Copies of this chain bind each other. A is one copy, B any other.
Amino acid sequence: MSSKTTKNNMASGTRRVTLKTIAEVTGLSLSTVSLSLRGGTTLKQETRDKVNEAAKALGYVPDRAGVRLRTGKTNVIALVLDGSEDSIDFARNMIQGIGHAIHGTRYHLTVIPEFERHLSTDTINYILSNRTADGVIITHTGPRDPRVQMMIDADFPFVSHGRTEFYTPHAYHDFHSEDFAALAVRRLAGKGCRDIMLVIGDDSTTNYHNIVTSFRKEAARAGIEARIFQGAAKLSPADMRAVGLDLAVAADRPDGIICDSEMRTIALVGGLTEGGVTLGREVQLIYKQTSGILPTLFPQMDSIREDVFAAGGELTRLLLRRIDGAAVGDLQTLAEPQPHWRSG
Contacts and interface: CB of A to CB of B under 8 A. Distances in A.
Interface of A: 7, 10-12, 16, 59, 61, 63-66, 68-69, 72, 74, 76, 81, 83, 85, 88-92, 95-96, 98-100, 103, 108-113, 115, 128-132, 153-156, 237-238, 240-241, 263, 266-267, 270, 292-293, 295-297, 299
A237 B88 contact: no
Nearest to A238: B296
Contact of A296 (B12, B66, B267): B267
A90 B89 CA distance: 7
B108 A109 contact: no
Contacts of A103: 115
Given A113-B99, A238-B296, A154 B92 contact: no
A154 B111 contact: no
A64 B171 CA distance: 28
Nearest to A96: B113
16 contacts: A12-B154, A16-B131, A64-B130, A64-B132, A65-B65, A85-B89, A89-B90, A90-B92, A96-B113, A110-B110, A238-B296, A240-B296, A241-B296, A263-B293, A267-B293, A270-B297
A293 B241 CA distance: 11
Given A11-B154, A241-B296, 17 more contacts: A10-B128, A11-B129, A59-B129, A65-B65, A65-B68, A68-B68, A69-B69, A88-B88, A88-B89, A90-B92, A95-B111, A99-B115, A237-B292, A237-B296, A238-B296, A240-B296, A267-B297
A300 to B, nearest CB: 10
B296 A266 contact: yes
B59 A69 contact: no
B299 A270 contact: yes
Nearest to A97: B113
Contacts of A90: 89, 92
A111 B110 contact: yes
A64 B85 CA distance: 33
A277 to B, nearest CB: 16
Interface centre among A61, A92, A108, by most B CB within 10 Å? A92
B241 A270 contact: no
A68 B63 CA distance: 10
Contacts of A129: 10-11, 59, 61
A12 B132 CA distance: 16
Nearest to A153: B11
A181 B307 CA distance: 36
A153 B64 CA distance: 24
B81 A92 contact: yes
Nearest to A240: B296
A115 B104 CA distance: 13
A70 to B, nearest CB: 9
A16 to B, nearest CB: 8
A193 to B, nearest CB: 25
Nearest to A9: B72
Nearest to A14: B129
Contacts of A10: 128-129
Contact of A100 (B91, B113, B128, B130): B113
Contact of A108 (B95, B110, B293): B110
A99 B114 CA distance: 8
